[in-house]
Structure 1
Amino acid sequence: MQQHTGTQSPPPGCPAHGNLSLYGTQFGSDPDGHYDYLRKLGPSAPVDIAPGVEVELVTSYDAALYILQNDATFVRDSRRWRALNEGRVPADSPALPMMAYRPNALFSDGAAHARLRQAVTDSLVKVNEHRLARQVQQVADYLIDQFSRQRLGQADVVADYATQLPLLVFSDLFGCPAAIGDRIIVGISGIFEGSPGANEILGQALGELIALKRRHPGDDITSRLMEHSANLTDEEMANQLVTLLSGGTAPLAAAISTGTALMLGDDKYAQTQTSAGLPVEDAVNEVLWKYAPIANYAGHYPVQDVELAGRMLKANDPVLISFAAANTDPLMSEHRQRLSGRAHLAFGAGKHVCPAKDPALVIAVTAIETLLSRLPDVELRTPFADLSWTPAPWSRSLASLPIRFTPRSMQAPSPAARTHNAPSPVPAPALKQAAAPQPAKSTLWSRFLAWSKGE
């Protein structure tokens, strides 16, 4: 991965010239250098998360954990956002879709949060992880088959595999028929690509899915949410689905692509004649520690002025958690050994901890294992240290991951293929208003369903 500069002087846009900007090409080329500089200012510091949008960013692990677990003082309801209420946030700001209030568990507190979250956790707990792993393998086989035939031994793991796999798996988990599933994929993809109209496409498709499941429930997450004793309204259903769908797809794509990069580009994961290499689970865990897929998010709003290590956090001003910076806090190295290997904050902490972390791990690990098994001689086309990141503040994801391999027809993993331990039994970004996505994506789900039926 790109190495940070360890800059000792303020980078452009730093507090010496205004707030440090956590967006754009300079941030994308050196996120770790930005976090290093911010740590010199204390456990938190003001940054611009988007043009004209200031937030307090928490970079300390201990401070982040304190805020995540102190839900009485730091609440999630962004209707408190002072600058937004005073008209000081640009109406077209890309921060609004990510931070503005929605009636779902992510932006709720107290009894409202408990009710909405219980509906989600009760629906997710019924996901059979063995069945989920088989579905991931089937989707992975389909995607590998597609790019193996079309790319002549070369592919981009990000575009050809990691981005598409969660969309297809989620379409199955949420019980989407082909016509609706296609538009949901278009909508979700368009949101993260900034495509105009994506918000409306997703909203209309979810409305149709909810109406369909009201009439014909099935064995899927959408139906379970609908049948839950919380009695969710259609509006609550739609917003819960937005959280689960959009909040799971992009972080999973990042975990799959970055985990694959580690497996292929870091010597400690390589198989040799004398070493089996570390398993995929270890690579995914390293991703969660060092390259948190949700990098800066989880908006909190102090209910009163609060002092944090000598810095005053004003009531109703947004405080964001830098999961990326907190997990790599140098002070963590002093006591990380005595912590659980999963004490990272990539899934959050406290009452708002991600309820889908177990299924997410199954999907990520199975996706990487299947890729390595189906393409046993796969290797990176770009050196590990030269891979680049997208410049968005919200997620830590690779811009591309070029690979090469020997083209082959689909087959079961050979004994010589990479083998790893089987997997053991994502704060969701809101929608972004932003031309329609590429037409090819509009039939992704339909094409997969046809392939799975042998058509």
Structure 2
Amino acid sequence: MQQRPGISGPPPGCPAHGNVQLYGPQFGSDPDGHYTYLRTLGPSAPVDIAPGVEVELVTSYDAALYILQNPASFVRDSRRWNALNEGRVPEDSPALPMMGYRPNALFSDGAAHARLRQAVTDSLATVNELQLVRQTQQSADYLISQFSSERLGQAELMAEYAQPLPLLVFSDLFGCPPEIGDRVIVGISGIFDGTAGADRVLGEALTELIALKRRRPGQDLTTRLMEHSAQLSDEEVLHQLVTLLSGGTTPLSATIGTAGALMLGDEWQAGLPVEDAVSQVLWNYAPIANYAAHYPTHDVELGGRVVRANDPVVISFAAANTDPRLAEHREQLSAKAHLAFGAGPHACPAKDPAFVIAVTAVESLLNRLPDIEVRVPFKDLTWVPAPWSRSLVALPVRFTPRTVTPASAHSQEARGAAQHRAANPAPQSASASSSAPKAKPGLFSRFLAWTRGE
């Protein structure tokens, strides 16, 4: 396990003069140093996760596992949040979109959680792994084709590959027609970028998708959620789709980018498989770094500190996975013992598909561009200065330019998918007019056209 040197002494914002701040460029440039200091305060410590928003951050692996596996004492329903109910959380806080309650499995407990989660897990279980690999390869080929023959063999892989790839795969899994898929991608991307109105764009697109599947069911995740015996309402289906998108795209992008950077770096041992790189990312660079807010049902003691009932306790997956106490036992631990996918009743239901997508995405990149190399050493790459995720800002690479075309193995499937979508057109938006100019094709439309050779 890699251990990077920590900061010496209390960082700015530490309890000596206020809470440690888990946001901003100083945290982004050295999160591990912050975790090292926080560990000196015990298994958990108070931090500011955003300006004016205090949470108890758990940095100990054992304490994190205990909380994740103890739903009787630690629940996920953020409507309990003391500070929010008392008006002490700024209305424009960036913590609210991440921690605020939504009617999905992530923020539910007990029977309500079991019902929603079963619908999600059963629906995901129907995804064929071979089909998922092919979908990922096809998405990878398209994205590589867009930059592989231009700009003198240079590209920025986060923006041009790692970030859009999961969006294409999920739009396909959801059974989106081209125009709806375009708006789903714009909406979910805008939410993470903080774009005004992105919530509305995504909500309207998914509402139209659900209405379409009510009329014309398909062999896709949306239809399977709608037809599940749990009998989810349309609103519940929508919120589970949003959860899959938000939990499955940005963390996957971070995993793909970091794993690719590791394998292309000078310190990577030649011959090790892509699976090893992805596993190392999940251990040492947890893509969801600090999240999973829990609310104690009663006052609890954590390492000598008393945390009040209904005050948020946030799990630092990044700190727990790199807990020095694990070092002596690491060889005995399973490669899957990391907490990057969580643990307990709220563990990520899509961890297996996520691993397949990440491995396939990195393999596809290396296979299509065999001489690809990074232009910046791994140690000099910069990270997004946000508490929630561990993701590279950019990954500049160079390679020998080449042309990538749709693989023949995918052509028949692509034609079949195109024929299905043609027979099941997207409903016209209420705001659309027959005389309105045709919108420029979005990412998903362009991808589907490319698979058809257009």
TM norm. shorter chain > 0.5: yes
How many angstroms does 1:151 deviate by? Answer: 2.9
Contact 2:23 2:385 in 1 (8 A): yes
1:383 corresponds to 2:409? no
> What is the distance in 1 between the residues matched to 2:3 and 2:376?
15
1:325 corresponds to 2:319? yes
How many angstroms does 1:408 deviate by? Answer: 1.1
How many angstroms does 1:3 deviate by? Answer: 8.8
Contact 2:152 2:401 in 1 (8 A): yes
2:241 alignment counterpart: 241
1:129 corresponds to 2:123? no
> One-letter code of the match for 1:50?
A
CA shift digits 1:189-221 (9 cap, x unpaired): 111111111111101111111111111110000
2:57 alignment counterpart: 57
2:398 alignment counterpart: 404
> One-letter code of the match for 2:384?
T
> What is the distance in 2 between the residues matched to 1:267 and 1:10?
31
TM value normalised by structure 1: 0.91
Structure 1 133/112 Cα, relative in aligned 2: closer, same or farther at 3 Å?
same
2:450 alignment counterpart: 451
2:105 alignment counterpart: 105
2:333 alignment counterpart: 339
2:146 alignment counterpart: 146
> One-letter code of the match for 2:453?
G
Secondary structure at the aligned position of 1:97 is classed as helix
> What is the distance in 2 between the residues matched to 1:412 and 1:185?
22
> What is the distance in 1 between the residues matched to 2:291 and 2:440?
28
2:48 alignment counterpart: 48
Secondary structure at the aligned position of 1:240 is classed as helix
> What is the distance in 2 between the residues matched to 1:168 and 1:241?
14
How many angstroms does 1:269 deviate by? Answer: 3.3
Aligned residue-pair number: 422
1:22 alignment counterpart: 22
The percent identity for this pair of structures is 76
> What is the distance in 1 between the residues matched to 2:440 and 2:248?
18
> What is the distance in 2 between the residues matched to 1:7 and 1:396?
18
1:82 alignment counterpart: 82
Contact 2:102 2:239 in 1 (8 A): yes
For structure 1, the residue ranges without an aligned partner over 5 or more in a row are 271-276, 414-439
Contact 1:217 1:223 in 2 (8 A): yes
CA RMSD of aligned residues (A): 1.6
1:191 corresponds to 2:185? no
Secondary structure at the aligned position of 2:442 is classed as helix
Alignment of 1:196-345 (within 5 A): 196-270=196-270, 277-345=271-339
> What is the distance in 2 between the residues matched to 1:398 and 1:330?
24
Structure 1 12/3 Cα, relative in aligned 2: closer, same or farther at 3 Å?
farther
How many angstroms does 1:378 deviate by? Answer: 0.5
Contact 2:53 2:95 in 1 (8 A): yes
1:353 corresponds to 2:347? yes
> One-letter code of the match for 1:453?
R
Structure 1 219/372 Cα, relative in aligned 2: closer, same or farther at 3 Å?
same
1:424 alignment counterpart: none
How many angstroms does 1:7 deviate by? Answer: 1.7
1:431 alignment counterpart: none
2:362 alignment counterpart: 368
Contact 1:123 1:221 in 2 (8 A): yes
> One-letter code of the match for 1:397?
S
How many angstroms does 1:152 deviate by? Answer: 2.4
Contact 1:175 1:221 in 2 (8 A): yes
